[in-house]
Amino acid sequence: MEPDASQTGPGTGWAPVRWTGHDVRTEVVLLHGHRVSVRVGGTSGPVLLLLHGLLGSGASFGPALDELARTHRVVAPDLLGHGASAKPTGDYSLGSLATLVRDLLVVLGVDSATVVGHSLGGGVAMQLAYQFPTTVDRLVLVGSGGLGRTVSPALRAVALPGAEWVLPAVFNPYAARAAARLLRPLQRLTPPALAQVVAGLATLADAEARAAFVQTARSVIDVRGQRVSATDRLYLAASLPLLLVWGGRDPVIPVAHADALHQLLPGSRLVVFEGAGHFPQVEEPGRFAGVVADFVATTTAPADRAAAWAAALRAGSVPAGQLPLGAADSTTA
């Protein structure tokens, strides 16, 4: 980002994000030596941080991003390994991605935001709320991972041994060009959700993107399904306003995961787009933007999120001296 003399002090080399207009624009931030592409829009209103899913980018929120920028300030980064951001070899776990997002907010001058996470981005959003509770005002989970084992067989296949050697045979520059020629006449007829899938798969023609995809997928998925779950710690978010948005026909992560979480946290809101699949934000962007905007307008972030988080942790834990007989595991016995 270009330094803004009016917002930087002596010796500083960065500038907070400038909310200059409703139109969403793309900025590039150098973070820990890596380029991070981030879409920014809006001039006023609460800040919305939108986190995309596996093989996605900030563009994965489609027209809903532009709609939300009319009444909110929006930040939609391409997570490392995705979109136009750098794709280094390294740690693509949820904890690492959540830390990266926290660092990005600091660089942009954003203290806290309503965090909207889709699919993998939902897992990152929950991890962010767990690691850095003061950064999250509200939580919106959209077809989110991290809430149960079930996930589509296609994603489980990435965890199979040798998948990284099979992918280049299917996804390579030659195949990408051939597919583009074949699909170009059908672009206007392609449903928005399918277009998202096609765009994501097209990125796998790049070797660095393929490697990052495999590393990211394997950090959260094994051959039996999702290997990371937030359900044992969601009680920590009981005081945090929570909205669940799901497609009733989601073939990737079933809506049953949302139903179970809604029952676990009765103060949460659940909105099911009955006719939508895994991308309700692009299948019904106007409705999606309206649901998120209404949620933000009608809820209030906890006054002291750090204190609420700590109180919930203490209430949900048992001091070591009060453990019942046999409760200690073999590592502490």
Side by side, the strands of the sheet bearing 21-31 are 21-31, 34-42, 73-77, 47-51, 113-118, 136-142, 242-247, 269-273
Is the model's pLDDT at 178 over the cut of 50? no
Q: Which of 262-266, 267-271, 310-314 has the highest mean pLDDT?
A: 267-271
Is the model's pLDDT at 190 over the cut of 90? no
Mean pLDDT of the chain: 85
**207-254 confidence digits (pLDDT tens):** 888 888 889 989 898 888 989 889 898 888 888 999 999 999 999 999
What CA–CA distance (Å, rounded) separates 106 from 69? Answer: 20
The predicted model scores a pTM of 0.86
- List Cα–Cα distances, 304 to 116, 125, 243, 257, 320, in angstroms: 20, 19, 20, 29, 27
**135-154 confidence digits (pLDDT tens):** 999 999 999 999 999 998 88
Q: Which residues are catalytic?
A: 119, 250, 278
